[in-house]
Amino acid sequence: MKDENIYLALVTILAPLSIAAIGGATGIYAPLQHETVELRQWMTSREFIDLFAISRLAPGPGSMLAPIIGWNVAGFGGALLATVALYLPSSLLCFGAARVWNRYRGTPWHRAIEAGLSPVAAGLIFSGILGLLRLGQTGPLSWFTVVLVAGLLMWRPKLHPLLLIGCGALAFFLLHVVAP
């Protein structure tokens, strides 16, 4: 399976996805599956789904699926290359935009854009939450947890996230043991 061009293939698959992924990482899964499973047959569909599940288990941005696939097809170099290919193009673009944006700080238009974009961000955050709710994979217990955590954090904003995540993991684990 391993040949010289596998690195090149990783780059040519992931670099365009970096720029095409508008609206977050969720957009890259379908094309990534198409390329790695159907076109190049690096893995079976089942393996892809397993790797996807694993990538969600690991900490960090959801798109850590890229290094996992890179690791599976070409080892450490593949993982590194896959990560760089997926992140570098969009990062450079974002850096350029941030630089232009911050250069005009203090001007009336900059203040207007900042004040005008904040509510759009709020609308996008709520849309994201609704989108996850729509997936329908989460049960009533999950929704209770979402409300509980949000309420706790409104009350105590500096409560440490790791503590909450640990409690959430433990609670769901115990429930699994008690009532599988």
Size of the site for another protein (CB under 8 A): 99
| Of residues 22, 50, 19, 48, the one with CA closest to residue 35 | 48
Q: Report DSSP state, residue 37.
A: I
The C-alpha atoms of residue 54 and residue 52 are separated, in whole angstroms, by 5
- Please tell me whether residue 19 binds another protein under the rule CB under 8 A: yes
The C-alpha atoms of residue 55 and residue 163 are separated, in whole angstroms, by 22
- Residues 113-152 within binding reach of another protein (CB under 8 A): 113-132, 138-139, 141-143, 145-150, 152
Whose Cβ is closer to another protein: residue 9's or residue 15's?
A: 15
- Residues 79-118 within binding reach of another protein (CB under 8 A): 79-80, 83, 87, 89-91, 93-95, 97-99, 101-102, 105-106, 108-109, 111-118
Q: Report DSSP state, residue 73.
A: H
- Please tell me whether residue 39 binds another protein under the rule CB under 8 A: no
Pick from 38, 45, 50, 104 the residue near another protein by CB under 8 A. Answer: 50
Half-sphere exposure of 145 (CA within 13 A, CB side): 14
Pick from 45, 61, 77, 104 the residue near another protein by CB under 8 A. Answer: 61
